[in-house]
Amino acid sequence: MRNLFVGRLSRKHFAIGFLSMLVSVGVIISVVLASIPRPIDLQGFTVFLIIFIIAIWLFGVSLFARRFHDLNKSGWWGLLYLIPSINLIALFFLLFSPSKNDNNRFGQLPSGDTPLLKIIFGLAKN
Protein backbone atom coordinates (compact mmCIF):
# COMPACT_ATOMS: atom_id res chain seq x y z
CA MET A 1 0.00 0.00 0.00
CA ARG A 2 2.96 2.30 0.53
CA ASN A 3 3.63 2.22 -3.22
CA LEU A 4 0.35 4.05 -3.76
CA PHE A 5 1.97 7.26 -2.52
CA VAL A 6 5.56 6.86 -3.76
CA GLY A 7 6.98 8.29 -6.96
CA ARG A 8 5.79 10.70 -9.60
CA LEU A 9 2.95 10.72 -12.10
CA SER A 10 3.09 12.70 -15.36
CA ARG A 11 0.11 14.67 -16.65
CA LYS A 12 -0.75 11.99 -19.19
CA HIS A 13 -0.59 9.17 -16.65
CA PHE A 14 -2.56 11.22 -14.13
CA ALA A 15 -5.31 11.87 -16.68
CA ILE A 16 -5.40 8.19 -17.71
CA GLY A 17 -5.53 7.05 -14.08
CA PHE A 18 -8.25 9.54 -13.18
CA LEU A 19 -10.40 8.66 -16.20
CA SER A 20 -9.89 4.96 -15.47
CA MET A 21 -11.09 5.55 -11.93
CA LEU A 22 -14.21 7.38 -13.12
CA VAL A 23 -15.09 4.68 -15.65
CA SER A 24 -14.46 1.92 -13.10
CA VAL A 25 -16.66 3.64 -10.53
CA GLY A 26 -19.46 3.99 -13.07
CA VAL A 27 -19.26 0.36 -14.15
CA ILE A 28 -19.07 -1.00 -10.60
CA ILE A 29 -21.97 1.11 -9.37
CA SER A 30 -24.08 0.13 -12.39
CA VAL A 31 -23.39 -3.58 -11.89
CA VAL A 32 -24.04 -3.42 -8.15
CA LEU A 33 -27.29 -1.46 -8.51
CA ALA A 34 -28.51 -3.80 -11.24
CA SER A 35 -27.82 -6.88 -9.13
CA ILE A 36 -29.30 -5.71 -5.83
CA PRO A 37 -32.39 -7.71 -4.93
CA ARG A 38 -35.51 -5.77 -4.16
CA PRO A 39 -36.18 -4.82 -1.38
CA ILE A 40 -32.64 -3.64 -0.70
CA ASP A 41 -30.66 -5.22 2.15
CA LEU A 42 -29.55 -1.89 3.60
CA GLN A 43 -27.06 -3.33 6.06
CA GLY A 44 -25.10 -5.29 3.45
CA PHE A 45 -25.31 -2.50 0.90
CA THR A 46 -24.12 0.08 3.44
CA VAL A 47 -21.06 -2.02 4.33
CA PHE A 48 -20.22 -2.43 0.64
CA LEU A 49 -20.70 1.28 0.01
CA ILE A 50 -18.44 2.32 2.90
CA ILE A 51 -15.64 -0.01 1.75
CA PHE A 52 -16.06 1.17 -1.85
CA ILE A 53 -15.95 4.86 -0.93
CA ILE A 54 -12.84 4.40 1.22
CA ALA A 55 -11.11 2.58 -1.66
CA ILE A 56 -11.99 5.36 -4.13
CA TRP A 57 -10.81 8.04 -1.71
CA LEU A 58 -7.54 6.21 -1.17
CA PHE A 59 -6.98 5.80 -4.89
CA GLY A 60 -7.87 9.45 -5.64
CA VAL A 61 -5.59 10.80 -2.92
CA SER A 62 -2.85 8.52 -4.29
CA LEU A 63 -3.22 9.95 -7.80
CA PHE A 64 -3.21 13.51 -6.50
CA ALA A 65 -0.20 12.91 -4.21
CA ARG A 66 1.92 11.34 -6.96
CA ARG A 67 1.01 14.15 -9.38
CA PHE A 68 1.97 16.75 -6.76
CA HIS A 69 5.26 14.86 -6.36
CA ASP A 70 5.83 15.35 -10.08
CA LEU A 71 5.48 19.09 -9.49
CA ASN A 72 8.01 18.82 -6.62
CA LYS A 73 5.31 19.52 -4.02
CA SER A 74 4.52 17.52 -0.91
CA GLY A 75 2.17 14.58 -1.32
CA TRP A 76 0.11 15.93 1.56
CA TRP A 77 -1.42 18.31 -0.98
CA GLY A 78 -3.15 15.19 -2.31
CA LEU A 79 -5.60 15.48 0.56
CA LEU A 80 -7.25 18.30 -1.40
CA TYR A 81 -8.98 15.46 -3.26
CA LEU A 82 -11.19 14.96 -0.20
CA ILE A 83 -12.50 18.56 -0.08
CA PRO A 84 -15.54 19.18 -2.30
CA SER A 85 -15.17 22.04 -4.82
CA ILE A 86 -11.52 22.54 -3.90
CA ASN A 87 -10.81 19.13 -5.44
CA LEU A 88 -12.08 20.38 -8.81
CA ILE A 89 -9.72 23.35 -8.72
CA ALA A 90 -6.85 21.06 -7.74
CA LEU A 91 -7.83 18.60 -10.50
CA PHE A 92 -7.61 21.27 -13.19
CA PHE A 93 -4.36 22.59 -11.72
CA LEU A 94 -2.85 19.10 -11.86
CA LEU A 95 -4.16 18.42 -15.36
CA PHE A 96 -2.71 21.61 -16.84
CA SER A 97 0.52 22.12 -14.88
CA PRO A 98 3.53 20.89 -16.83
CA SER A 99 5.81 18.29 -15.28
CA LYS A 100 9.17 19.31 -13.90
CA ASN A 101 11.70 18.22 -16.52
CA ASP A 102 14.34 16.93 -14.16
CA ASN A 103 14.75 14.59 -11.22
CA ASN A 104 13.46 15.89 -7.91
CA ARG A 105 13.32 14.72 -4.31
CA PHE A 106 10.49 12.32 -5.21
CA GLY A 107 12.34 10.43 -7.90
CA GLN A 108 13.27 10.40 -11.52
CA LEU A 109 11.28 11.94 -14.33
CA PRO A 110 8.42 9.52 -15.15
CA SER A 111 8.94 7.54 -18.34
CA GLY A 112 6.20 7.41 -20.94
CA ASP A 113 6.22 3.63 -21.31
CA THR A 114 4.81 2.57 -17.94
CA PRO A 115 2.00 -0.01 -18.39
CA LEU A 116 -1.48 1.27 -17.56
CA LEU A 117 -2.22 -1.25 -14.80
CA LYS A 118 0.97 -0.32 -12.98
CA ILE A 119 -0.06 3.33 -13.10
CA ILE A 120 -3.59 2.64 -11.91
CA PHE A 121 -2.59 0.48 -8.97
CA GLY A 122 0.45 2.53 -7.95
CA LEU A 123 2.96 -0.18 -8.71
CA ALA A 124 5.10 1.92 -11.06
CA LYS A 125 8.44 2.96 -9.66
CA ASN A 126 8.78 6.17 -11.65
pLDDT tens per residue, range 5-14: 888 888 888 8
| Residue 24, number of CB atoms within 10 A of its CB | 13
**Residue-wise pLDDT tens digits, 42-97:** 777 788 889 989 999 999 999 999 998 888 888 888 899 899 999 999 999 999 98
Helices (H), 8-71: 11-35, 42-70
Distance CA 33, CA 35 (A): 5
